[in-house]
Structure 1
Amino acid sequence: MHGAVFLIEFGGILLALGLLGRVAGRMRFSPIPLYLLAGLAFGTGGLLPLGASEEFVAIGAEIGVILLLLMLGLEYTASDLVTNLKTQYPAGIVDFCFNALPGAAMALLLGWGPVAAVVLAGVTWISSSGVIAKVLGDLGRVGNRETPVILSILVLEDLAMAVYLPIVTALLAGVGLAAGSLTLAIALSVAGLVLFIAVRFGRLISRFVSSDDPEKLLLVVLGLTLLVAGIAQQLQVSAAVGAFLVGIALSGEVAEGTHALLSPLRDLFAAVFFVFFGLHTDPASIPPVLLPALALAVVTAGTKIATGYWAARRAGISVRGRWRAGGALVARGEFSIVIAGLAVTAGIEPELGPLATAYVLILVVIGPLTARYTEPVGMALSARFRKPAPAPDAARAAATAPAAKAGEPAVAIPAQGQAPAEAEADGELAPPR
């Protein structure tokens, strides 16, 4: 009887997620907010609380986090990460200062303490790579000049996760300064070792894992990932970091084949993870934190736009491309929920989970809108507040201007109100200032 109830509950969850995914696909936006709402409906205080399948959902959610980070690691090679770290680190520093500090300040203003401040800083800092990649594809901007800038910021955020997650794990575990420092040292040493091995011996590792049989490739990669994630968690590092490093170590055809094989599994267990997070959030706890979540969403949407604008300007992108880069970075999603989920599991602050849920729900819906409309709104505001150049009197200018010497080129006078930036082609590199 217990097994029958489990099958009915879990089958109902998967069916509901599939239908919600279809709805999101037809409306052309991320399904993450619908998955979170489904978790709220099935959880404590919801419309239909679960019983028999909750433990299995918890295991599936943990696998979902591991697969999310594994697939993220497969997107990058070790050389890509090293190159981005060398060339784009100023943008990463600006991104951290602009977007992590508001979250930390909000937690301290709410009286939640320093540990919750570190957690909420991560929630507001990390953009959603999955949502942003989908939005860029839907808008046809993958080949734009500003897209490498956007991807560089996302890569730096993902690389920073390898350092940030062990710190959060140690803080949530309540270990002392010495033990926490040891945990961080182990995490950094392992990450550095994996990057070194991936750069020097990446082809050999990929050749060892590679297989023409999809079944064997799937079993080897999935088994290796779960094994490394378990060892990492046993060392108090983070299972997610272990999975991320496995993804970095694999490259070439193995990475492509693994990505194709594991994408459906990743989508399945990631959806289960969002449901699981919603299960542990009482819907009645969201209204009291809705106003702080909305204020935080407005502030950090603005800071993300400023981050993208600054990074694109530093790369020499035109004004239109700068606005597009900023608007594309607004969405938060899977990693914000992963970070908040660690805090919810540790039980450090009851209101942190509801606040993170409301915050992500707001920005995962607003993110695609800012990606689409930040550019026209920004250009309209720039044109409105730009001071037009005074129009010279043509006759007086002709009378007072000295005659051009023979052989000298004539100087063209720009039309009234025309600014040099307006001559830049859409998405092209801006001329040097």
Structure 2
Amino acid sequence: MEQHLLFEVGLALGIIAFAGLLSSRLRFSIVPLLILAGMLVGPQTPHFGVLDFRFIDSAPLIEFLGRLGILFLLFHLGLEFSVGRLVKAGRSIIRGGIIYMAINLTLGLLLPFLLGWPFKEILIVAGITTISSSAIVAKMIVDLKRTVRPETEMILGLMMFQDVFVAVYLSVVSGLVLTGATSTMNVLASAGLALGFIIGIVFLGRKLLSQLNRLLNIPSDEVFMLVLFAILVIIAGFSETIHVAEAIGALLVGLVLGETEHRERIDKLVVPFRDLFGAIFFFSFGLSIDPLALGGAVLPALAAVGLTLTGNFASGMIAGRMSGYSHMASTNVGLTITSRGEFSIILAKLAMAGGLLPILQPFAALYVLILAVLGPLLTKESRWIYISLSRIFRWPALKDKEKPKQKQKKAVAESY
């Protein structure tokens, strides 16, 4: 009932806090624990009087707070970079994006084709398995303190490249699934609008830098935050209305404001909101997954996970090496972009609306969950993975700046 709304939100925050304490104790990424925590509760959970863990009344509010979490995660990530750095890396980003899409989309089309699924289902699965989760990737980069690494520029660029691809792909697939037809002009217009929006924000941000510095020259922290939040939500909301992911809108705002003289002040004030709302997002995502409906999709999901791990690592390694990154940096690219999330769920819901095969729902949920767990784990252990593979492929030894800190130095030395 509505009078229990505040208590339900309190219960959700309590579960999130417990997951945070557990992740701290285990020294493991909080992301998969939050998703698992969300899966363990939800509509399928028994309730005991006032202790109702189904979160029926509070689900819309929790989902909205989770959307704010995406905005703050990507906005803060953008603060760590500058528009100038990404512009200079533009050529390698385009080249890397094409390589990434060519490999992963091909594998995504191949799996459902071999399973004998219909054409529309093949397109849905290809989209589910191709696009990385911007929110999870951003969280991992921040948690592992990798924002200063040069290869993170390519990771950010790949997310932007994927968003332009999403605009085109979603236009085509939604047209086919929901109406049975699509317009070439509509597809081209959607892609051009997404690309134009990204370029426009970057261009205006650089041209209006002095005006932004004056606008944000506000003594009061309270008013400063109000102006900052207004800019963030308006730009992200506008990007959503033109079918560009709201997360990319938030990332662009961060990139632009990261070049202002107020960057350090913004960073200090935004971090608490990033951590709070970001945690709610991953918990909310877990709430959307029904663990009782996963059974029949186990084998297809595991096969998709295997292909995704292979395709992401191969494309990250090829794109990274072609852009001049070291083998270790290229390994980081391939492993960091492994996680899947929000876009995969959007496509699964589109399939449900279009009356496609019911197996697509549990398939998407299980696939996303496995990679949401494996993604952070593989990214965290990227050095160990590189060392193991370097013995097989005879890659160069790690440079001093790429080696682990104190506790791992001995293990790395012994591995040679």
Matched, 1:8 2:7: yes
Q: Which runs of 5+ in 2 are unaligned?
A: 47-52, 403-416
SS of 1:45's partner is: coil
- Which position in structure 2 is the counterpart of 1:381? 392
Residues 1-400 of structure 1 correspond to what in structure 2 (within 5 A)? 2-3=2-3, 5-46=4-45, 48-108=53-113, 109=115, 110-111=117-118, 112-113=120-121, 115-117=123-125, 119-123=127-131, 128-134=136-142, 136-137=144-145, 147-148=149-150, 150-167=151-168, 170=171, 171-172=173-174, 176-177=182-183, 178-251=185-258, 252-314=260-322, 322-323=327-328, 325-326=330-331, 329-331=334-336, 336-346=340-350, 347-348=352-353, 351-367=359-375, 368-369=377-378, 370-382=381-393
Which stretch has the larger CA shift, 15-24 or 119-128?
119-128
**Residue 426 of structure 1: CA displacement?**
5.6
Q: Which runs of 5+ in 1 are unaligned?
A: 384-420, 429-433
One-letter amino acid of the structure 1 residue matched with residue 315 of structure 2: T
Which stretch has the larger CA shift, 110-119 or 45-54?
110-119
**Residue 222 of structure 1: CA displacement?**
0.7
Tell me if the contact between 1:126 and 1:157 (Cα under 8 Å) persists in the aligned partners: no
Tell me if the contact between 2:132 and 2:341 (Cα under 8 Å) persists in the aligned partners: no
Tell me if the contact between 1:40 and 1:283 (Cα under 8 Å) persists in the aligned partners: yes
Distance 2:281 2:211 in 1: 34
SS of 1:247's partner is: helix
Distance 2:85 2:359 in 1: 38
Distance 1:118 1:206 in 2: 44
Tell me if the contact between 1:73 and 1:247 (Cα under 8 Å) persists in the aligned partners: yes
TM-score between both structures, scaled by the size of structure 1: 0.75
**Residue 236 of structure 1: CA displacement?**
4.0
Tell me if the contact between 2:101 and 2:130 (Cα under 8 Å) persists in the aligned partners: no
Distance 2:348 2:30 in 1: 22
Distance 1:117 1:424 in 2: 37
Distance 2:311 2:130 in 1: 14
One-letter amino acid of the structure 2 residue matched with residue 26 of structure 1: R
**Residue 142 of structure 1: CA displacement?**
7.7
- Which position in structure 2 is the counterpart of 1:388? none
SS of 1:253's partner is: coil
Distance 1:338 1:18 in 2: 22
Distance 1:238 1:155 in 2: 14
Distance 1:280 1:53 in 2: 13
SS of 1:29's partner is: coil
Tell me if the contact between 1:304 and 1:330 (Cα under 8 Å) persists in the aligned partners: yes
Distance 1:84 1:237 in 2: 22
Q: CA RMSD in A?
A: 3.3
Distance 1:199 1:422 in 2: 39
Distance 1:241 1:328 in 2: 19
User: Percent identity at matched positions?
Assistant: 25
SS of 2:28's partner is: coil
Distance 1:328 1:242 in 2: 22
One-letter amino acid of the structure 1 residue matched with residue 252 of structure 2: L
**Residue 244 of structure 1: CA displacement?**
2.9
**Residue 118 of structure 1: CA displacement?**
5.2
One-letter amino acid of the structure 1 residue matched with residue 331 of structure 2: G
Cα distance change, pair 8–156 in 1 and its aligned pair in 2 (3 A): same
Distance 2:271 2:112 in 1: 35
Distance 1:270 1:249 in 2: 21
TM-score between both structures, scaled by the size of structure 2: 0.78
Distance 2:304 2:42 in 1: 25
- Which position in structure 2 is the counterpart of 1:399? none
